[in-house]
């Protein structure tokens, strides 16, 4: 039968049979500050009393989202001043698709529709996220998929390199598959490339050091947006605020969730660099939103969580 988890504290879980278990995965890669942090429970309680809900549609906002956005602007790379809020990483990657297509539409290039991802990548469990991901077992259960999404091989050196091939050469070769795919589709038709800085669900695969700089060079060469899926890697998991900072590249959009609230309440977000956000903002409505986008209780918990990560030096301690 199913294991029933009844309690958690610190790094430990307890099940209904009284077993004490070390939670080595931090939930599902999300409980970054550990269980039992009263600060997060208190933040939720205070916010529920003050303003339990209001939407962020139609030029409306509220203090928790304002404070959270300011904090995210501090911990993300320079130029990330705009954030779209959702409830999960899957919704974040759905939102990325909408943002990417809207960006190219207002730039006068609506034909740039293709998004390139990787085999064995993971970008969520919705139809859009599942299509973006390269998990074959998920695709088998999805006869209906999102159009204009294609995949290249993953940078899995230990599992897929040829005999005698160096990590550096392998990383370059796998990155250059992106260029080949762009040329096959036509650069004028390609909108974006999305990847996890390191693959999480695909097997905790770290790419060779040559991989991401070459991916970025190719994206810039062909005028293609670069998206970092930081749903697992974000908020200190690798000793930096975001995992892409290890690998020497600068994304145009960042998806995040999980560690944003340490899993205490659901929340996701998309960070949008100024160079992408400004054309969208200046050219009409972005007709996308969710009832719980920027939920005040989730935002208040996220603020308290980021303060713990910052003030207790947790990100630095991970190093």
Q: State the chain's mean pLDDT as an integer.
A: 96
Chain length of the chain = 319
* pLDDT value for 206: 95
Give pLDDT tens digits for 198-208. Answer: 999 999 999 99
What is residue 190's three-state secondary structure? Answer: strand
Q: Which residue has the tokens 């809207």?
A: 102
Higher-confidence residue of 58 and 188: namely: 188
Span 4-31, average pLDDT: 97
Give the whole-angstrom CA distance, residue 134 versus residue 25: 22
Q: Residue 285 burial (CB < 10 Å; 0-12/13-18/19+)?
A: exposed
| 129 pLDDT higher than 90 | yes
Residue 294 confidence class, pLDDT cut points 50, 70, 90 = very high
pTM of the model: 0.95
pLDDT class of 135 with cuts at 50, 70, 90: confident
Q: Residues 294-315: what's their mean pLDDT?
A: 98
Residue with tokens 């749903």, as numbered in its chain: 231
CA–CA gap between residue 235 and residue 242 (Å, rounded): 6
Share of the chain above pLDDT 90, in %: 92
Cβ-based burial of 89 (10 A; exposed 0-12, middle 13-18, buried ≥19)? buried
Using 50, 70 and 90 to split pLDDT, how confident is the model at 318? very high
User: How far apart, in Å, are the Cα atoms of 201 and each of 29, 153, 204?
Assistant: 10, 16, 7
pLDDT at residue 1 greater than cutoff 90: no
Which residue, among 64, 74, 70, has the nearest Cα to 292 in the 3D structure?
64
What is the rounded distance in angstroms from the CA atom of residue 199 to the CA atom of residue 161?
17
Cα separation, 87 vs 92, whole angstroms? 8
Specify the pLDDT at position 139.
87
Closest CA relative to residue 94, chosen from 231, 197, 205: 231
**226 has pLDDT over 90:** yes
**Neighbouring residues of 84: CB distance < 8 A, sequence distance ≥ 6:** 95, 99, 269, 270, 272, 288, 293
Q: How far apart are the first and last CA of the chain?
A: 39
pLDDT, mean of residues 187-193: 99
- Taking residue 22's Cβ as centre, other Cβ atoms within 10 Å add up to 9
Q: How confident is the model over 32-82, as pLDDT tens digits?
A: 999 999 999 999 999 999 999 999 998 899 999 999 999 999 999 999 999
310 backbone dihedrals φ, ψ, rounded to 5°: -75, -55
Q: Tell which wins on pLDDT, 289 or 215.
A: 215
Q: Write down the domain spans for the chain.
A: 1-30, 36-318
> In the prediction, which pLDDT does 144 show?
82
Please give the class, per CATH, of domain 36-318.
Answer: alpha beta
Per-residue pLDDT averaged across 262-266, rounded?
Answer: 98
> Cα separation of 86 and 290, whole Å?
7
């Amino acid at each position: 039968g199913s294991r029933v988890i009844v309690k958690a504290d610190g790094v430990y879980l307890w099940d209904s049979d009284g077993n004490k278990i070390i939670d080595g995965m931090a939930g599902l890669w999300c409980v970054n500050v550990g269980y039992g942090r009263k600060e997060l429970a208190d933040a939720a309680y205070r916010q529920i009393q003050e303003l339990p809900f209001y939407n962020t549609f139609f030029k409306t906002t509220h203090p928790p989202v304002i404070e959270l956005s300011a904090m995210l602007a501090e911990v993300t790379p320079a130029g990330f001043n705009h954030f779209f809020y959702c409830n999960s990483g899957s919704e974040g990657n759905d939102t990325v698709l909408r943002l990417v297509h809207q960006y190219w539409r207002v730039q006068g290039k609506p034909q740039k529709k293709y998004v390139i991802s990787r085999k064995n990548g993971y970008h969520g469990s919705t139809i859009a996220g599942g299509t973006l991901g390269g998990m074959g077992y998920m695709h088998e259960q999805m006869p209906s998929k999102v159009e204009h999404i294609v995949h290249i091989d993953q940078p899995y050196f230990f599992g897929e390199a040829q005999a005698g091939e160096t990590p550096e050469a392998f990383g370059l070769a796998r990155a250059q598959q992106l260029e080949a795919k762009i040329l096959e589709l036509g650069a004028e038709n390609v909108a974006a490339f999305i990847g996890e800085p390191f693959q999480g669900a695909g097997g905790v695969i770290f790419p060779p050091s040559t991989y991401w700089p070459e991916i970025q060079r190719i994206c810039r060469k062909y005028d293609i947006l670069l998206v970092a899926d930081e749903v697992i890697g974000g908020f200190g998991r690798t000793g930096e605020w975001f995992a892409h900072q290890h690998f020497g590249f600068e994304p145009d959009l960042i998806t995040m969730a999980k560690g944003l609230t340490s899993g205490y309440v659901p929340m996701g977000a998309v960070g949008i660099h100024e160079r992408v956000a400004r054309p969208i903002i200046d050219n009409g409505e972005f007709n996308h939103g969710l009832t719980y986008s920027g939920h005040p209780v989730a935002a208040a918990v996220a603020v308290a969580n980021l303060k713990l990560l910052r003030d207790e030096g947790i990100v630095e301690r991970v190093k």
